[in-house]
Structure 1
């Protein structure tokens, strides 16, 4: 028989997580954002718990000697699972193909019985998510089967499930003739410039209503933003056109909001979700940079979201000297990127019945 859930300890960790600082809207290397923003938040959420992410830890009921690998479920524990998205464009390098797995997935993704990382990976054209409800459902459903859920819930009244989701979009960046261009990149230094993200650039410059991807991106942007971004340019203080970067950013932030709302309907009382949104910046022959955009938690009847905004007209920015190059630092109205407002939404917690 399961023990009544003691939510107080997890609630304290969630509250402590939201006391951690976060810095948004600046092009930085992947290690900085992954370690200082994503990993630090997630470890704060599960501090003091036995982490269950290796399939061998669930082998206690195995009829073979593998049962010796089974974890002690009487300890306060957390089962973790990880999902991530980005556009399926092949242009990603460094950040998307290796750094993320090394720094984030290696700590929170499930490990198969043969030692491989098992991530929920989705690559919708344009990035973000093509359907937040489906992403939430699949990620939660694959984490715990009913038998395992019973064992974990019966083991300790403080044991929980952590659903970690990282949503990404991307934008190309070129530096040529002393000018910086966003929305284009090269496959290699000797190739011609091409659009990135092609789906977002295409939706804004050559919208085709029969194209399902264009329609989804238009919906994610919202009609007012779509009309504005397809007919106006957003310039930095230096005169650099960042229209396509802003579009990619809004798509990612919208994905976090939609997925967080859906997770509130999928998880039960022991479910805790942590979500982030980022835009990767593709540069020829160099590792992608990352712009951190949003973080959110879902737990105990409350969704908290901290992010840059969704109104394209309020975006601006400037290029700043950093790491021997010019990097984009975004601005959203008069908001402080190191102290963005935190939005709170309530939801009805679903009872597991256990």
Structure 2
């Protein structure tokens, strides 16, 4: 077993605090990473606070990791010691079902193994622990190669916020001539604007906060609609595609109204309460869709594109002892646009 130091929630109501724990013994196809940076996703907060109702404690959150490889198994040929690598939300799957064969491991029929909170397939007695920690052991098939040209601090959020927005934009073939809306300007929303703009779409941000308009334009938005403005929302029409990134309870019906005939509203946020919609969408053949992160192959394609086009997340770098304050700021929307933990500070904690 490999010793690790991390920050964990011991109960749904406790603050994250230092913890010593053990990673599983690496196998012949495993990599060991010294972790350098880890992003903070709103899903980490939902899980640490058991807001979805299935958390296992104690839990070390974190699924946006970048690190340097310190050890490789005897059967590993695609990585070597010293390489940079990333780990996202997935660390294993059954590998045999139709979704796995289609490189969509996140939809594995037998249940995907998540970066934290899952029973690891290699040892059913071990619960996976996440990236707010000093190291990680991962199967080489679920590790991602990091373009050396990019700033690692801004790369970490690409492993979740990046692929979560990339995947539906690519699935729906967003490109020049498309009118795209992005709901919410947070970790996901700011990446959605960057990608949709890079793909050549006309991009509009829907936000409750007028103060975010200037930032949205600097990120690549062509226009901004304040969603609390009833008249502005009524005037919003003929969108081909709207990507809703909000992870809190909200009304999606105004966005359905803003779609053109045959338009699509895609949900990528994970609220802890069910959203409701009116059946009027049947009158114009509109689509409500959902998308969950992306498979390993697609995530690597996203990283390669980011390397070629110099796209990273806008981040605020923090020390590990600021993580509880960062959780509160994420919930209140007070971050531009992703917190990333400098894990070097964990060693001195």
**TM over 0.5, shorter chain:** no
Larger relative contact order (Cα-Cα within 8 Å, sequence gap ≥ 6): 1
Shorter-chain TM-score tier: under 0.3
TM-score with structure 1 setting the length: 0.26
Q: Which has the larger radius of gyration?
A: 1
Compare the two structures and name the one with the higher helix fraction. Answer: 1
